Amino acid sequence: MHSSPPSSRLKWAGRGAVAMAICSLFAGVAPPNAAADPPYPLDKTLRMNQIQTMATHNSYKPGLIPQGLPPSMANLFPGATIEQLQAGLDHGHKTLTEQINNLGVRSIELDVHADTDGGLYTETPRLAEVGAPTRMDDPAWAKPGLKVFHVAQVDQRTTCVQFVQCLGELKQWSDQNPNHLPFMVLVEFKDTDPLGGEPTPPREWGPADYDRVDAEIRSVIPKNQLVTPDDVQGKFPTLEAAVKANAWPTLDQSRGKFMFVNCNCVAPNDRQRLDYLRPDGSLKDRVLFPTSKPGNPDAAVVLADDPKDGNAIRELVKAGYMVRTRSDENTVEARRGDMTRANAAFASGAQWVSTDYPEPDPGRTNTTYQVDVPGGTPARCNPVNAPAACTSLDIENPDRLSHGNGGQGSLGGGRQTFGS
């Protein structure tokens, strides 16, 4: 199966931990051979759509509260028991920093809720049904700004309450490891009621909410660490024209940078994609790439969450699009210990394979199900469109992330700008 042997994963994580420890002990002191450290040999030719990496789904989510779901939730899903509903939702992750440092995760998903004045999601009265606290005690819930969680009250635990807090973890890691491969953040705008009876239903987003997403990203991640639609489109008439002409940045241009994607995956009628576009239909000065469909002027990233039709995904990748797919969903594959879907996802060539299980969770699933990039490295050469000479260590070598110089690295002279 495609999951890497545990020894491979542990070896990689161990090397990263050693590098971080050295960085902490000798901050500001460059190793004697740092200046001689060669650049990655394929960086000026290998493009960011020619790699494949592992993502996590609901990356902020540590799991349900110990008391479980309120029994009244079963009323929203006739024919399903509360135990079945709980089984589908009960997955969880470590902090973002731990996932990235120790598990090789190089793409995350954040569910973002608007909370302009703060405090909208502080009270959780529905949890009284299971004898749990009915107020979120972290003071961050009372602050204005975007919040990150799954479903109000019933599944609201998160490792980083505020969107900017989550971004801050990414920024800190990136600054310590400036030569990391380009990192994708999938942002799911939560402004619908997916359960059909959410206790604190979100309101539909307007222009100011989308502007706030861009603004909060830019408040944490500076321009020179972003890959934006404008960067990729360049002088092409449309974003789709650019990606079909293979205009994605090279790794030389995108190391140490972040790409943000508008999931556009919960609202009907393509609303969140359309509302995020400028009035003229462009993405001028926008931060996020919307997930779209081939044929749309903004088509660059495509969601294909079920990898069973691997040929369709492979054709998208060959055409220049970047694709997100999922190796598992609703804990089904994990509880069966079934790697069929994960193997299909990696074989498809989708650039981001999203999982709830970057490590085993036998306490919840009673299996050792685990998904990892084949070979156990944070990324590999894309099996569909990467050049034959490419190796995983051409993309990101764990030994060359954090040098003993405060995390500044020495590869290629730091972050590159587009057109350099």
Bridge partners of 379, per DSSP, are 53
The pLDDT of residue 282: 96
List the single range of 80-84, 103-107, 374-378, 410-414 with lowest mean pLDDT.
410-414
Q: What confidence tier does 192 reach under pLDDT thresholds 50, 70, 90?
A: confident
60 within 8 A of 166, measured Cβ to Cβ: yes
Structure tokens at 251: 């790794």
List the single range of 80-84, 194-198, 283-287 with lowest mean pLDDT.
194-198
376 within 8 A of 8, measured Cβ to Cβ: yes
The pLDDT of residue 5: 45
Half-sphere exposure of 81 (CA within 13 A, CB side): 3
Q: Over the chain, what is the mean pLDDT?
A: 88
The pLDDT of residue 24: 42
Bridge partners of 110, per DSSP, are 187
Q: What confidence tier does 22 reach under pLDDT thresholds 50, 70, 90?
A: very low
Question: For the residues 126-150, what does the mean pLDDT come to?
Answer: 97
- Residue predicted with more confidence, 234 or 38: 234
pLDDT tens figures, 27-44: 343 333 333 457 899 999
The pLDDT of residue 196: 67
List the single range of 21-25, 173-177, 240-244 with lowest mean pLDDT.
21-25
The pLDDT of residue 10: 46
| Residues near 208 by beta carbon (within 8 Å), at least 6 away in sequence | none
**What is the rounded distance in angstroms from the CA atom of residue 407 to the CA atom of residue 386?**
29
The pLDDT of residue 195: 67
| Residues near 250 by beta carbon (within 8 Å), at least 6 away in sequence | 43, 44, 45, 46, 47, 48
pLDDT higher than 70, residue 404: no
**What is the rounded distance in angstroms from the CA atom of residue 241 to the CA atom of residue 282?**
13
Please give the sequence-ordered ranges of beta strands (E in DSSP) within 327-397, or none if there are none. 352-355, 379-381
The pLDDT of residue 112: 97
Name residue 253's amino acid. Answer: Q
The pLDDT of residue 13: 54
Q: What is the pTM of this model?
A: 0.89
pLDDT higher than 70, residue 210: yes
pLDDT higher than 60, residue 314: yes
pLDDT higher than 50, residue 127: yes
Q: What confidence tier does 408 reach under pLDDT thresholds 50, 70, 90?
A: very low
> Furthest-apart CA pair in the chain: how many Å?
66
User: In this structure, are strands 379-381 and 322-326 parallel, antiparallel, or unpaired?
Assistant: unpaired
Cα-Cα-Cα-Cα dihedral sign, residues 54, 59, 65, 71: negative
Question: For the residues 390-395, what does the mean pLDDT come to?
Answer: 96
Provide DSSP, 166-227.
HHHHHHHHHHHSTTPPPEEEEEEE--S-TTSS-SSPPPPP-HHHHHHHHHHHHHHS-GGGEE
The pLDDT of residue 109: 98
Question: In which region does residue 330 sit, left (phi positive, over 0), alpha (psi from -120 to 50) or beta (all else)?
Answer: left
203 within 8 A of 257, measured Cβ to Cβ: no
DSSP 376: S
Question: For the residues 330-345, what does the mean pLDDT come to?
Answer: 98
pLDDT higher than 90, residue 216: yes
The pLDDT of residue 203: 82
**Nearest Cα residue to 222 out of 176, 253, 256, 249:** 256
User: What CA–CA distances, in Å, run from 98 to 57, 66, 173, 187, 259?
Assistant: 15, 22, 10, 20, 20
- Residue predicted with more confidence, 402 or 234: 234
Question: For the residues 371-391, what does the mean pLDDT come to?
Answer: 96
pLDDT higher than 50, residue 214: yes
Q: What confidence tier does 406 reach under pLDDT thresholds 50, 70, 90?
A: very low
Question: For the residues 182-195, what does the mean pLDDT come to?
Answer: 90
Name residue 238's amino acid. Answer: T
Question: For the residues 301-312, what does the mean pLDDT come to?
Answer: 96
Bridge partners of 353, per DSSP, are 54, 325
DSSP 238: S
The pLDDT of residue 199: 72
Question: For the residues 308-325, what does the mean pLDDT come to?
Answer: 97
pLDDT tens figures, 64-75: 999 999 999 998
